[in-house]
Amino acid sequence: MIEQSLLLSCLDLIEEKEIKLLTWGDTSFYFNKNEIIELIKLKTSTNWEEIFEELCEQSLVVEVKSAYTDNCYRSRMAEAIYLYSNLLNDGTVES
């Protein structure tokens, strides 16, 4: 069993990387699985794959669709911002 504090620590690191892009208005970015594993490796020396799977299982990291490649992931925070920005851009929601 992976400690929740380790999962949240890994999520914090992922979101720190994402926030740098989000502050510039880039909501269409994503990580591939290997990039997320590399971030997890900064927090722990073992169980990288298991931690990645647990992040996905708890929906802390979600798989997203891309026309260009498979295995695209964002944190739930970045995905929520992406979805909301697209609602605003297509005029469905008034700001």
Q: What is the pLDDT of residue 69?
A: 75
What confidence score (pLDDT) does residue 57 get? 97
Tens of pLDDT, residue by residue over 5-62, are 999 999 999 999 999 999 998 888 899 999 999 999 999 998 999 999 999 999 999 9
DSSP secondary-structure letter at 13?
H
- Higher per-residue confidence, 91 vs 8: 8
pTM for this one? 0.84
- Taken in order 85, 89, 91, 94, is the CA torsion positive or negative? positive
Give the Cβ contact number of residue 82 at 10 Å: 18
Residue 95, pLDDT score: 53
Residue 65, pLDDT > 90, answer no
